[in-house]
Structure 1
Amino acid sequence: MQYFHQILRDLAARLIPAIVLVVFVSISPNAAAALVQVTAFGTTLNLPNSLPTGTVVSRYTIPLSQLCSWSPCEVTAISLWPNGGSAISNGPLIQTTVSGISARLLVNGQPTTMFNIGNNKTRVNSPLEVQLVRDERPLSAGSLAGQQGGNPSYFYVCTSTDGDTTGQMCMSNKNGLAIALSATVKLINGTCSTPDQSVMLSKIVLEKFKGVGSTGDQSGTKGFNLQFNNCPPSFARVSYELSPIGGALPAIVGALPVAGGSTAKGVAIQITDTNGTPAKFNQRFALSAYNSSTGGSYTIPMNARYIQTAATITPGTISGMMSVLVDYQ
């Protein structure tokens, strides 16, 4: 019989509130049919006033189908405009009109800098993403709306079609996307406290496992609570995400990567709900009990258990870790 133990640790709270993002193009009426116009609804962005520098505070995704209606989708030029104003920037991070908040555009999952028509085209294989990032300026409330009149844009993305290999149509406002930010930032004092935890599973004999995917018996299952303490009121919603720490995830849903220093093989630690349904990692779930009027403390009961991951199990000790990432909107 061997000892197995699992560590549940909250490393950090990633704060990912909602952003109101308007995608528009300023064109003449006779060109409107050639463009895709996208609007994300919403008016307010609630942020904790204690956001650390470098935190991604909000994300917005633009599907590839809304960038290009043809394949392959190729970007011929991108320009970045701090504050939605008249001065261009190389980026990738540009300031917004709200002190303490900057923005960046991700293409193929990577922050992009400015590039011009005439350079090599970039083939886009995944959705665009706009991120708001806490910068080093003092954080304040305010509007993200740009400085120019009308609907100012922070990013312009030019795309090519079969008949437009240079992207000149974008420069004449006939093809491409203009991305604007429009939300009022409000600051809220405080965040939920998510304490560190260690969960120790009981020892279990190897004979309890019957093959890959087996979990032994109930003696190898340990209950614990995700804890969200002293959450302040006034957020529209609080959500959480379970993020595994370590190497590659096992093929079995809900199983944590085996942490360094473990000596057992062919077995992992699986996180489930109280009904035994495996946890889904890297997905956002609402803290449904959160009360925006009163705030408060909340718990979500979970289980940790062994699960066999290979045909042969080597006795030893094993540990796994995950962080609880908290989103505020």
Structure 2
Amino acid sequence: MMKILKALTGAVKSHWRRGLLGMVVLACSTAAWASSCSGRASTITLTPPAAIAIPRDAVVGTLLTSWIASTADSNWYQCTGTSGSDMAGVAFEPLLQTPSGLTISSGGVRYTVFNTSVAGVGIAVGVSGISACSTSAFRDLGTPNSGITLVPAPWVFTNGCTVGSGPANVGGQAQIAFVKTGPITPGTASGGVLFEAAAVVGPFSTGATLVSGMRKSFKVDSISFTVGSCTIPDMPVSMGSYKASTFTGPNSSSNPIDFSVAVNSCPAGLNGIQYSFDAPSGVINATAGVIALSSNSTATGIGLQLKDNSGNALKYNTNYTLSSYNKSTGGSYTIPLKASYYQTGKAVTAGSANGTLTITMTYQ
């Protein structure tokens, strides 16, 4: 018997004087307007997949989704300065997020990974400013500007454009990605507004103004996470009974028995599945794929030989790829094998001949 075991305005002032003829004479002062921006508050939604199956064996730091970006928009705000040196730009602020302690590198940027409501799952956020002057590279939302006092931490200033005394448009873009931060507990990461953007305008050399209104709120939809793995039932394989005379000498064997290892309920969305076999009782002949009998066996001089469906000796502690796995649909699969008794000694003595083979699945 063989068993398969599942192993993220100034005011315009006026005064009047009445003359002898009752004429009213108006004298107006020069207007003194401060730098300003116009625009409107709005919510920008970032939509990840509704559900993600996370490979059970994914390492910490693995991106669980690709980067999900908002539309690049250079027209969030229209800003006007008071002098030729005034500038305008956009800054971003994280809301209701706690750094996980993990950082990841992507596209040459080191990102802070914030916790989500699901244990083991974090979110990284990249932000970019867009103006008539330039589009900045994405910056980490968790790293406030170093040595720049334009806006207070935790705001992150992205880039600026000279507006002078005329109007200029400024805007931006954001991107998010979910990241594995540790052992994952399946669940749903609650969505909501996770960060916001605001206009920055003024003489940058002496200190600009973070505009208090017209904020752009970035909302992330909720997403469910499951830990992806297949199920493998324990499976006994009946080897049958043989006479000692079946074996004619070392390296002789009985006729092979065909059987299959069932790999059930594999989730969709995994990048790949690998498996390997191990023999708890030991390997006698690695070249021939022969493993030792279990300690409760009484027969001597024989072992169990395992081969793949093509008749090649099974390699132990070696990864095989489950090539039939379909990432789009998931499903259940089988691994066809062959087993036979194999003479290892000079003589074979009668008795029980049992063996155990374990299978370990690795998910990517």
User: With structure 1 as the length reference, what TM-score do the two structures score?
Assistant: 0.48
More helix as a share of residues: 1
Based on CA coordinates, which of the two structures has the bigger radius of gyration?
Answer: 2
**Higher-strand-fraction structure:** 2
